[in-house]
């Protein structure tokens, strides 16, 4: 996955636009020096928009938005990593905040840990920080909940897709995050 993201980023840097990559002939792609023979053949032989159109239509149906590295709402800090994803899928409202804090922790935690999470996240939210976590049970969900309850902005990085809520008991939390923040998955 990491190597694929790096390769895709290099292609985008070299050719500037996904459409240009998609429409490029074999000679042009070979001249980039980025692709091996199998990758080159795969791009040349798959000049078909059916899959892309299917993905876009499915996203529209499910209320999922798509952002690319070229979009102004793509996180600035992420753009500088070689393996940053070219495409992000999301639900909610992207906000450009300069300050953010990520928090992840135990799924099963003590009441003391929960109190500390509430205290720390409340302080960050009061200072205007975005709260980023993974929407898992325990510390992650407490962080999102505290942010929402304090009118803060929170981002949930999810791994199962935006049409699937995991854990299932966080369905209401996921809805609140999408209404007051952003649920995000990268592909």
pLDDT tens, position by position, 23-51: 888 888 888 888 888 888 888 887 777 88
Q: Which residue stretches of 49-170 are H helix?
A: 50-62, 76-79, 111-126, 139-149
CA distance linking residue 71 with residue 73, whole number of Å:
5
Q: Which residues contact 176 (CB under 8 A, 6 or more apart)?
A: 144, 148
Question: How many CA atoms within 13 Å lie on the side-chain side of 109?
Answer: 20
Percent of the chain with pLDDT over 90: 24
Strand partners, 185: 89
Burial of residue 121 (CB within 10 Å: 0-12, 13-18, 19+) is buried
Whether 126 has a pLDDT exceeding 90, the answer reads yes
1 confidence band (pLDDT: 50, 70, 90): low
The pTM score is 0.78
CB 117 within 8 A of CB 146: yes
CA distance linking residue 16 with residue 2, whole number of Å:
20
Secondary structure (3-state) at 123: helix
- For residue 2, the model assigns a pLDDT of 57
Whether 96 has a pLDDT exceeding 80, the answer reads no
Handedness of CA 5, 28, 43, 19 (dihedral sign): positive
pLDDT in tens, 133-178: 988 888 999 999 999 999 999 999 887 778 877 778 888 988 898 8
Q: Which of 84, 78, 89, 103 is nearest to 184 (CA)?
A: 89
- For residue 5, the model assigns a pLDDT of 64
Whether 102 has a pLDDT exceeding 80, the answer reads yes
CA distance linking residue 59 with residue 81, whole number of Å:
26
């Amino acid at each position: 996955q990491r190597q694929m993201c790096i390769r895709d980023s290099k292609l985008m840097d070299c050719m500037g636009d996904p459409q240009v990559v998609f429409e490029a002939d074999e000679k042009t792609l070979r001249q980039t020096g980025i692709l091996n023979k199998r990758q080159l053949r795969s791009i040349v032989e798959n000049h078909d928009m059916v899959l892309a159109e299917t993905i876009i239509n499915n996203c529209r149906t499910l209320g999922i938005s798509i952002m690319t590295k070229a979009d102004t709402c793509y996180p600035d800090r992420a753009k500088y990593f070689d393996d940053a994803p070219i495409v992000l899928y999301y639900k909610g409202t992207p906000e450009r905040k300069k300050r953010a804090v990520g928090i992840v922790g135990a799924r099963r935690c003590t009441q003391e840990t929960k109190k500390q999470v509430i205290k720390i996240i409340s302080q960050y939210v009061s200072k205007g920080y975005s709260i980023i976590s993974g929407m898992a049970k325990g510390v992650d969900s407490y962080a999102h909940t505290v942010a929402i309850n304090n009118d803060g902005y929170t981002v949930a990085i999810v791994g199962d897709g935006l049409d699937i809520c995991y854990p299932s008991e966080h369905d209401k939390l996921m809805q609140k995050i999408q209404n007051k923040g952003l649920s995000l998955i990268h592909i």
